[in-house]
Amino acid sequence: MTPKEARYHLAEDIEAVLLDGWTVYPSPPEGVTAPAVVLAPRSPYRVKSTVCNEEVRLALTVLIQRNASVDGLNVLDDTATIIRSAIHSSTVMAVVDEVSDIGIIQEVGGVEYLAALINVTVEV
């Protein structure tokens, strides 16, 4: 499996378990429609691995509209749990390293979102 294939497979596996209305992007898009999950490389992106050929390190950003509800943190927390389960049950050999920066406000294209960052390592 290539890094590109791993990103696309993970995106499909995540999208399959999220509620209707969520969009999962296998790479950073020009525009985002929230609620969304965006897969992007983190640094370092590809490194030598002792388990497989190499590790691919990804940052998944979960975005919901800032004004979606007063329960925004709960939505982010629940969604992070769902995504974690999807990644660990995926056919892609991947693990969630950490969920961090949950509830931060991130601006994308002039629109503010509540966000959570999920760091993932994939063996390819």
- The model's pTM is 0.91
Tally of domains in the chain: 1
Pairing of strands 111-123, 54-65: antiparallel
DSSP summary character for residue 50? S
In the chain (124 residues long), the average pLDDT of successive 10-residue segments reads 95 97 96 94 92 91 81 91 97 95 82 92 94
CATH number of the structural domain spanning residue 66: 3.30.70.1700
Domain that holds residue 114: 3-123
Sign of the C-alpha dihedral, residues 57, 30, 25, 103? Answer: positive
Alpha-carbon distance 122 to 95, whole Å? 7
Helix boundaries (H) for the chain = 3-17, 72-88
Q: Which residues pair with 100 in a beta bridge?
A: 117
